[in-house]
Amino acid sequence: MGSAVIVSLVEDCTVSRILQFFERLHSYAALPCMQEPDSAVPHTYSELVEAAQVWRVRFGEFNLGPDATVGLRSDYSLTAVGALLGLLLSRAHVALIPRDNNIEQYLADACVTDLLEVDLDSKYRRRSLDPRPRHPLLSRVNAEADSGIVLFTSGSTGRPKAALHSVERILHKFDKPGRRLRTLAFLRFDHVAGIDTLFYTLANGGTLVLTHRRDPHSILELMAKHQVEVLPSSPSFLRLLCASGERERLSLPQLRVITYGSEPMDASTLARLNTLFPDTQISQKYGTTETGAPRTISRGNDSLWLKIVGAETKVVDAVLWIRSVSSILGYLNAPAPFDAEGWYCTGDLVDVDGEWIRFRGRTAELINVGGEKVAPTEVEQAILELDFVRDVLVAGCPHSLLGQIVTAQVVLSRDDIQPPEAAKRIRTHCRARLAPYKVPIEIRFVSGGFVNDRQKIQRRAASDDT
């Protein structure tokens, strides 16, 4: 594919980083770009560039340009990523729509004018929507010859917010070259960490290994089959992986890096990971929908401490604040979340050791026991130290005298211990490790886990059942 194609691709596209990004994709040509899980032959960068061109022409035929906000609902595929890139080349705004039942609310909140749904077999459906009022932030992005990407927050503390990112700001992080690696597309296409993984991999000529299943058995089989070098994941998934027993039967000598983020890691799971993957770098990452995914450094493979080096940080009353060049422009369905100086309160509780921080949970999740504050993750981490516990979720339950009490839902990992004995041992262990008001008053034993499709604990939904 010659230079005329790349000129055609970036015609009328005046944002320098978008131009540079697509020139890099074009330069990788025959390198493998995406690996389908059941295929022996990967897609190349030339195929991706061609897919973006096809979609750009198609969007022109649909009259979708800078004034359009297109909802894209899909998982990773050559077709879906090509559509994303084609929209950015057309300078349209893209709203990445989560794959759940709130689709109409998402479309309204993101001011979507057209919806594009792409199936895994590359079939697509397009639906034109009734005209919606245009948000001033979208007009601002157009005036700056930029494109916007809308990502939705998880909604763990209320209605999901439609967060508008500047593509120029997102791509700023990838100005400097990184490592060319085979990376598993584990984190969702509509999640900030998933988009970060996608752009990092493409910017450096790496290969994105696609998956349509996210259970430990399928993931480890896929990693062995396609020689995955990087596994981006979450503590909840890694906890399941450690408990599954699947690792022992597979050799993964090519695996170089495991990254985790989105929720606090517990020391027990981290220690098990180091035992199961002794030759693999294990790194903690951090990011929010509002501030993107700044660069971080872990103190060590076995350490829960990390340093954020890709953004400004400060800690006020044990809560982390961030100011970042990759921060969103604002919400489309809520007031801007920044203070007058551009700082964003993450709501994450942290311990501080010089330039290093360690996460303790979120302020919105604190349990108020007679005026004493309890972080659920602290109690969970203590319970997970017990070898007969596979998973646990701690939450607050209303109480007439104390306001709230601490409750726990527990998944056992062994059949040789019965719930009454397990509950007794859990309380004994917690009394030795925690203050009395942090010890669970109620303990329920359940068979299922607490992880949502973003591979993190769905704390609010689970606590409602307590």
Q: Which pLDDT score is estimated for 15?
A: 44
Most confident of 65-69, 129-133, 378-382: 378-382
Instruction: Work out the average pLDDT over 73-93.
Output: 94
Instruction: Give the three-state DSSP class for 79.
Output: helix
The Cα–Cα gap between 35 and 355 comes to 39
Q: Which pLDDT score is estimated for 156?
A: 64
Count CB atoms within 10 A of the CB of residue 105.
15
304-309: Cβ within 8 A, 24+ apart: 304/264, 304/265, 304/267, 304/270, 304/358, 304/359, 305/353, 305/356, 305/357, 305/358, 306/356, 306/357, 306/358, 307/355, 307/356, 307/357, 308/357
Instruction: Work out the average pLDDT over 11-22.
Output: 65
Q: Which residue has the higher pLDDT, 181 or 18?
A: 181
Q: Which pLDDT score is estimated for 120?
A: 80
Backbone phi, then psi, for 87, in 5-degree steps? -65, -40
pTM for the full model? 0.87
Q: Which pLDDT score is estimated for 185?
A: 96
Kind of pairing between the strands at 32-35 and 43-44: antiparallel
Predicted confidence (pLDDT) at residue 454 exceeds the cutoff of 90: no
Nearest to 332 by CA among 139, 2, 60, 111: 111
The Cα–Cα gap between 121 and 101 comes to 21
Determine the residue type at 219.
I
Kind of pairing between the strands at 69-73 and 43-44: unpaired
Q: Which pLDDT score is estimated for 69?
A: 95
Domain assignment present for residue 13? The answer is: yes
Q: Is the Cβ–Cβ distance between 460 and 428 less than 8 Å? A: no
Q: Which pLDDT score is estimated for 164?
A: 97
Q: Which pLDDT score is estimated for 247?
A: 78
The Cα–Cα gap between 305 and 299 comes to 6
Instruction: Work out the average pLDDT over 331-349.
Output: 95
Q: Which pLDDT score is estimated for 6?
A: 41
Count CB atoms within 10 A of the CB of residue 66.
17
The Cα–Cα gap between 286 and 284 comes to 7
Residue range 389-446, pLDDT digits in tens: 998 999 999 998 888 999 999 999 888 899 999 999 999 999 999 999 999 999 999 9
Residue range 44-81, pLDDT digits in tens: 999 999 999 999 999 999 988 888 999 999 999 999 99
Instruction: Work out the average pLDDT over 149-155.
Output: 90
Backbone phi, then psi, for 284, in 5-degree steps? -90, 135
Count CB atoms within 10 A of the CB of residue 37.
15
Domain assignment present for residue 266? The answer is: no
Q: Which pLDDT score is estimated for 313?
A: 96
Instruction: Work out the average pLDDT over 309-314.
Output: 93
* Radius of gyration of the chain from its Cα atoms, rounded to whole angstroms: 23
Count CB atoms within 10 A of the CB of residue 303.
14
For 415, which DSSP code?
S
Q: Which pLDDT score is estimated for 65?
A: 83
Domain assignment present for residue 12? The answer is: yes
Nearest to 187 by CA among 258, 118, 250, 120: 258
Domain C-terminal end among 137, 171, 205: 171
The Cα–Cα gap between 267 and 121 comes to 41
Q: Which pLDDT score is estimated for 157?
A: 62
Predicted confidence (pLDDT) at residue 8 exceeds the cutoff of 90: no
The Cα–Cα gap between 291 and 320 comes to 12
Domain assignment present for residue 406? The answer is: yes
Q: Which pLDDT score is estimated for 285?
A: 95
The CATH number of whichever domain residue 135 belongs to comes to: 3.40.50.12780
Domain C-terminal end among 171, 186, 221: 171
What is the three-state SS of 146-199?
CCEEEEECCCCCCCCCEEEEEHHHHHHCCCCCCCCCEEECCCCCCCHHHHHHHH
Q: Which residue has the higher pLDDT, 222 or 463?
A: 222
Predicted confidence (pLDDT) at residue 16 exceeds the cutoff of 90: no
Residue range 156-187, pLDDT digits in tens: 667 899 999 999 999 988 988 899 999 999 99
Domain assignment present for residue 257? The answer is: no
Instruction: Work out the average pLDDT over 223-242.
Output: 93
Find tokens 């349209």 and name the residue: 92
Domain C-terminal end among 140, 171, 202: 171
Residue range 350-375, pLDDT digits in tens: 999 999 999 998 998 899 999 899 99
Which residues form the domain of 423? 366-463
Domain assignment present for residue 247? The answer is: no
Predicted confidence (pLDDT) at residue 451 exceeds the cutoff of 70: no
**Burial label, 247 (beta-carbon count in 10 A; 0-12, 13-18, 19+):** middle
Q: Which pLDDT score is estimated for 145?
A: 85
The CATH number of whichever domain residue 379 belongs to comes to: 3.30.300.30
Which segments of 384-457 does DSSP mark as H helices, in order? 419-433
CA 315: distance to chain centroid?
23
Average per-residue pLDDT in the chain?
89
> Across-strand partners of 399?
403
Domain assignment present for residue 218? The answer is: no
Domain assignment present for residue 18? The answer is: yes
Q: Which pLDDT score is estimated for 159?
A: 86
The Cα–Cα gap between 250 and 367 comes to 41
Find tokens 């039967």 and name the residue: 249
Give first-to-last CA distance, the chain, whole Å: 59
Listed in sequence order, the residues at least 6 apart from 258 whose beta carbon sits closer than 8 Å to its beta carbon are: 230, 231, 233, 238, 273, 277, 280, 281, 282, 283
Task: Report residue 377 as tokens.
Answer: 């993750």
Instruction: Work out the average pLDDT over 268-282.
Output: 94
The total number of structural domains in the chain stands at: 2
Ranges 6-20, 305-319, 360-374: which has the least confidence: 6-20
The Cα–Cα gap between 179 and 200 comes to 9
Handedness of CA 267, 465, 408, 402 (dihedral sign): positive
